[in-house]
Amino acid sequence: MASPSHPTNLHFVLFPLMTQGHLIPMVDMARILAQRGIMVTIITSPVNANRFKSVIDRAIEADLKIQVLELQLPCVEVGLPDGCENFDLLPSNAHAVNMYLAMIMLEEPAEKMLQDLCPPPSCIISDGGFPWTNDVAKKLGVPRVVFYGPGCFAFLCIHIVTNTNILDEIDSESKYFVMPGLPDRIEVTKPQASTWGRGDTKESTKIFERMQEAEKEAIGIVVNSFEELEPKYVKEFAKAKDKNVWCVGPVSLYNTSLQDKAERGNKAAINAKDCLKWLDSKESGSVIYICLGSLSYASTEQAIELGLGLESSNIPFLWVIRHPSEEFEEWLSKDGYEERVKSRGLMVRGWAPQLLILSHQAIGGFVTHCGWNSTLEGISAGIPMVTWPQFAEQFLNERFIINVLKIGVKIGMEVPVIFHELDESKEIVKRDEIKEAIECLMKNDEEGEARRKRSKEFSVMAKRAMEEGGSSQRNMTLMIQAVTEELAKKPTLVQDIV
């Protein structure tokens, strides 16, 4: 899967955003670059560095030239609790702006850190959430490549929404409209199309606009996707941005060892061997896997409805519940739920080894929040999905899964709910709707078989893209070449580039 290592004089510096959906793929990307013989430095905060320490330690043991440097995030100075260094640790959604303010304050110490690096940086790959890295790159005289979390389909939709007046023309919050300028007919509501972008405060608008301006000076955009998955959208996205777009994924497929799969992203709340043992006891394709993302905070009422929907479906399930409330735990003990479902249901409280689970033959379906990481991991594993989007670009990803790829079943979520406000949401997906969606996905009828067949075909394409000579391997080479060509215009900075 990985290209043989060829030593170079290149040194790439990566700045991942402090949220799992962005951090995880950038750590994978860092190891893929290091496999090419490039020196790679990841710069992040201590809490985030600790989450992927074991994976990086193994890469170093394998003689990859990779290191992690830590910058202290000024949490207290911006009104965040000490140690609140990731979006999944925020006290409330309102604190997201505080996190961005803390990230802005990293500019000066990061610039000093880069000036002291030896060998000096050749390129900065930074998340769009770090627009100031554009200024740092200019001062150092090196190119910058920008990374965003979503795929090309969702980001083309976001580009259309933020660069046209389409939403100003829509009066209704609930009426569906056709998104203009797309190769396929895609219908969304105004809220579903606008939960990623400027936001509704002066601060968030200012941050977003700065991100847009910084992007213009990047030499290209690197995307965790693969060309065969969304060929029309890769082309249209590159055209809309008037930039190189390099699809280099699914980067999750770089993780081939049991340890790397088990420890990807964070320390799991369940022992990997225990998890595999439970899955081994189930028939092939019989289990539905439920995980609503690293930022999901299901309300007690919703968690109960989900539990009862799973129970009434009679389908074996592995359910990851990230932040169970005290009320939910109380309901579990009083209701005797876990005792009733223990023969066919496994609950994991906290972080789960998702790659390990999805790649197991027992998994036949995936109930997902449609975050791009999870979406792509489901696609790579060839698993059809029940879509349960919540916020950000997740409703757009749902349209991609349902309308473009045709590998999913909607659960019926209509109104976006910001991750820390789920307890205040009045929209509850009822147990009967959950049961119906799961049964529909797992059914062996003609429609179900067609979904499974398409899912497996995309999985084969994903693996080919990451193999030697595959489209994602070629795109990684093209990105490295583009950086080399930019540096060659400034021969005093870097010599003897291989």
Assigned domain for 494 exists:
no
Whether 36 and 66 share a structural domain: yes
- Half-sphere exposure in the Cβ direction for 289 (13 Å, CA): 31
How many Å separate Cα 215 from the centre of its chain? Answer: 20
Tokens 């998702």 map to which residue? 354
Q: Are residues 399 and 277 in the same domain?
A: yes
The identity of residue 272, as a single letter, is A
* Pair (445, 321) in one structural domain: yes
The residue segments making up the domain with residue 212 are: 11-248+467-488
What CATH number corresponds to the domain at position 162? 3.40.50.2000
Q: Are residues 109 and 231 in the same domain?
A: yes
Distance in angstroms (rounded) separating the CA atoms of residues 64 and 38: 9
Q: Is residue 227 part of a domain?
A: yes
Contacts of 426 (CB under 8 A, 6+ apart): none
Q: Are residues 32 and 166 in the same domain?
A: yes
481 contacts: CB under 8 Å, gap ≥ 6: none
216 falls within a domain: yes
Residue 117 has which token pair?
């690096």
Q: Are residues 351 and 375 in the same domain?
A: yes
392 inside domain: yes
Structural domains in the chain (count): 2
Could you tell me if 349 and 223 lie in one domain?
A: no
Contact indicator for 14, 29 with CB cutoff of 8 Å = yes
Residue 5: inside a domain: no
In a domain, 182, yes or no: yes
Is 263 part of any domain?
Answer: no
Tell me, yes or no, whether 231 and 273 share the same domain: no
Show the CA angle centred on residue 417, arms to residues 309 and 237, nearest 5°.
Answer: 110
Q: pTM, whole model, 2 decimals?
A: 0.92
Tens digit of each residue's pLDDT, the chain (498 residues) = 444 455 578 999 999 999 888 999 999 999 999 999 999 999 999 999 999 998 999 999 999 999 999 999 999 999 999 999 998 888 877 788 889 899 999 999 999 999 999 999 999 999 998 999 999 999 999 999 999 889 999 999 999 988 888 888 888 888 999 999 999 999 999 888 877 666 666 776 787 888 889 999 999 999 999 999 999 999 999 999 999 999 999 999 998 888 888 777 666 767 888 889 999 999 999 999 999 886 666 788 889 999 999 999 999 999 998 878 889 899 988 888 988 998 899 998 887 889 999 999 999 999 999 999 999 999 999 999 999 998 889 999 999 999 999 999 999 888 887 654 544 556 789 999 999 999 999 999 999 999 999 999 999 999 999 999 999 999 999 999 999 999 988 755 544 444
In terms of domains, do 208 and 281 share one? no
- For residues 284 and 174, membership in a common domain is answered with no
493 found inside a domain: no
Q: Looking at the structure, do residues 472 and 455 belong to the same domain, yes or no?
A: no
Closest CA to 44 of 35, 36, 56: 56
Residues 83 and 158 in one domain: yes
| Contacting residues for 452 by C-beta, under 8 A, at least 6 apart | 382, 384
CB atoms near residue 392 (< 10 Å)? 26
